């Protein structure tokens, strides 16, 4: 970053003061909360997270330093649950992403399905990627494909499952035209996410620990070598 674009020391200090103020507000909200999912606590948390993020960025831009703590991104967290205490119905929303890693394997599987049902092999449907995908997802349950994606030439990406509460079950066909449009985050009972990002974070932590151990071992070896050199000199 150029010197002209760097924040001033006063701006960094002002951001630090904003964090202190947000921290006091968050503590006051926690001390006076009315329940487990008090919206005031949630709002104070968001304000603290935003203030800390601004301070962290300015601190880095000005002094090339970072804070020793990390606050989860507010855009990734769910708001407090405000749905019915005793839901009469639930909706389960699932998204699974795949990369077409082996197109030929995908096409071959679709052609086998067509041959098994008597539609012939090498037809226009099974001869294209989008056609093959349609055949396979029509023939196999989505959970079955998710349990063995490599057999279909697919590579797993991110996936998520949301369970949302409803007052009443939807009328048949009511949401079929736009099944994912009207999801209220405050009615999400629970969610489960799977992503390679989590694995990367774990691996990075392990690598950092290994690097730290290696550095310690190297330092110990160097100290031992220095001690031997001193002994040799004394002789």
Structure confidence at residue 74 (pLDDT): 42
C-alpha closest to that of 161 among 92, 218, 222, 226: 92
Contact 78, 22 (CB under 8 A): no
Going by C-alpha positions, the residue among 48, 41, 39, 37 that lies closest to residue 70 is: 48
Among 58, 156, 64, which Cα is nearest to 101's?
156
- The pLDDT tens digits for 172-183 are 998 888 888 878
Beta strands in the chain (DSSP E): 89-100, 154-166, 188-194
CB 50 within 8 A of CB 74: yes
User: What does 222-234 look like in DSSP terms, one character per residue?
Assistant: HHHHHHHHHHHHH
Tokens of 108: 């071959």
Tokens of 28: 């006051």
Residues of the chain with pLDDT under 70: 1-5, 70-78, 118-125, 198-235
Task: Give φ, ψ of 96 to 5 degrees.
Answer: -130, 130
Among residues 80, 132, 89, the alpha carbon closest in space to that of 107 is found at 132
Q: Coil, helix or strand for 163? A: strand
Residue 116 is predicted with a pLDDT of 85
Instruction: Please name the residue ranges forming H helices in 32-163.
Output: 39-63, 103-116, 129-139, 142-147
pLDDT of residue 65: 87
Please report the pLDDT score of residue 231 as a whole number.
45
* Stated length of the chain: 235
């Amino acid at each position: 970053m150029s010197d002209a674009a760097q924040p001033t020391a006063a701006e960094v200090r002002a951001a630090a003061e904003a964090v202190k103020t947000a921290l006091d507000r968050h503590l006051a909200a926690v001390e006076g909360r009315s329940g487990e999912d008090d919206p005031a606590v949630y709002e104070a948390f968001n304000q603290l997270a935003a203030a800390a993020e601004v301070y962290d960025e300015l601190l880095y831009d000005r002094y090339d330093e970072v804070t020793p703590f990390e606050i989860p991104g507010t855009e990734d967290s769910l708001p407090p649950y405000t749905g019915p205490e005793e839901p009469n119905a639930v909706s389960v929303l699932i998204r699974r992403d795949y990369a077409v890693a082996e197109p030929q394997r995908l096409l071959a599987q679709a052609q086998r399905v067509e041959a098994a049902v008597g539609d012939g092999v090498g037809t226009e449907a099974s001869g294209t990627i989008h056609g093959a995908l349609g055949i396979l997802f029509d023939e196999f349950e989505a959970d079955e494909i998710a349990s063995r994606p490599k057999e279909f030439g697919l590579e797993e990406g991110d996936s998520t499952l949301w369970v949302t509460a409803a007052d009443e079950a939807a009328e048949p066909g009511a949401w079929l035209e736009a099944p994912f449009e009207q999801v209220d985050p405050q009615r999400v009972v629970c969610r489960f996410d799977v992503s390679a990002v989590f694995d990367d974070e774990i691996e990075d932590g392990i690598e950092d620990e290994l690097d730290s151990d290696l550095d310690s071992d190297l330092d110990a070896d160097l100290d031992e070598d220095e001690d031997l050199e001193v002994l040799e000199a004394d002789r």
